Amino acid sequence: MSLSALDAHAPEQPPVYREDLILAIPADRSLDELRSWIQEHTAPHSLAGRRVRLDIGSRALDLFEIRRLVALLQDDFEAENSGLIADRHHIHRFAERQLKLDLYAHEDLDDVAPEHITSVDLDDTLKEPPPPAFFPVTEDSGGPDSDFLTRPSPPIAPARAEPSGRRTMSLHRTLRSGTVVRFDGDVVIFGDVNPGAQVIAAGNVTIMGALKGMAHAGATGADDCFIFAFELHPTQIRIGRKIAIPPDEGNRRDEPEFARLVDSQILIEPYRARSAR
């Protein structure tokens, strides 16, 4: 029996951790049977007040399952769950699923050619929501830039050298409501960003599809970032420390557009390749 350290039945066998009991659930038992299994193998109340680590063996991690087990230990056995023991690769998969990002441990990166990954230190880490110093959404009905589609655009400043070594994340799927993508670099999305989804990037946001949700470029405070989309119909866009609400649907244009900050106003204009200017 893989019940490694339940002192109620094997008092002579010291627990692996001085204070924590390890409760290893045998591979052939379903997690649904955990309650009856514990009751079979422990004296009543022997878990009360103890710190318990749950070893789920080689099972995959499931958020709801784990929450249920933790609640069961607390509510039915009055034990404090102090940790979870699982296979490294399941933990990795779980984290990737939760973060919706590919994760690489340091040792994995040794295989990747160094020019693909450049380590960058950003002054601030990305934070959500934006810091309170943010410009509030202004109160007039058209949003802060109700005339921003009609205003003539000022001359484009000469291109600045891109800060070298900024990382780019590319995602090949549509972001649905409730999804948040955060990245401390540029983000490129091959798909749509639906209403209720958010893209928050320290750098530029490029959407090879429709932006209907919220995008925040320059989320660490950079004012020189842009948001590009094939169809730019956002719920809200944020660049640096500014927020804008697009005008009414009557003014919608179905052409590639990009948004950037000009004189601390968010300006949206049709995208033209640089060579055409």
Size of residue set near other proteins by CB under 8 A: 22
> Using the rule CB under 8 A, is 174 a contact of other proteins?
no
**Shortest CB 235 distance to other proteins, Å:** 5
Taking residues 196 to 235 in sequence order and writing x for each that binds other proteins by CB under 8 A, - otherwise, the string is x-x------------------------------------x
**64-83 residues near other proteins, rule: CB under 8 A:** 67
CB nearer to other proteins: pick between 61 and 245: 245
Stretch that binds other proteins, among 22-30, 148-156, 192-200, 221-229 (CB under 8 A): 192-200
What does the H/E/C string look like for the chain? Answer: CCCCCCCCCCCCCCCCCCCEEEEECCCCCCHHHHHHHHHHHCCCCCCCCCEEEEECCCCCCCHHHHHHHHHHHHHHHCCEEEEEECCHHHHHHHHHHHHCCCCCCHHHHCCCCHHHCCCCCCCCCCCCCCCCCCCCCCCCCCCCCCCCCCCCCCCCCCCCCCCCCCCEEEECCCECCCCEEEECCEEEECCCECCCCEEEECCCEEEEEEECCEEEECCCCCCCCCEEEEEECCCEEEECCEEECCCCHHHCCCCCEEEEEECCEEEEEECCCHHHC
CB nearer to other proteins: pick between 25 and 211: 211
Q: Which residues would be at the binding site for other proteins (CB under 8 A)?
A: 67, 129-130, 132, 134, 136-137, 139, 141, 143, 177-180, 195-196, 198, 235-236, 243, 245-246
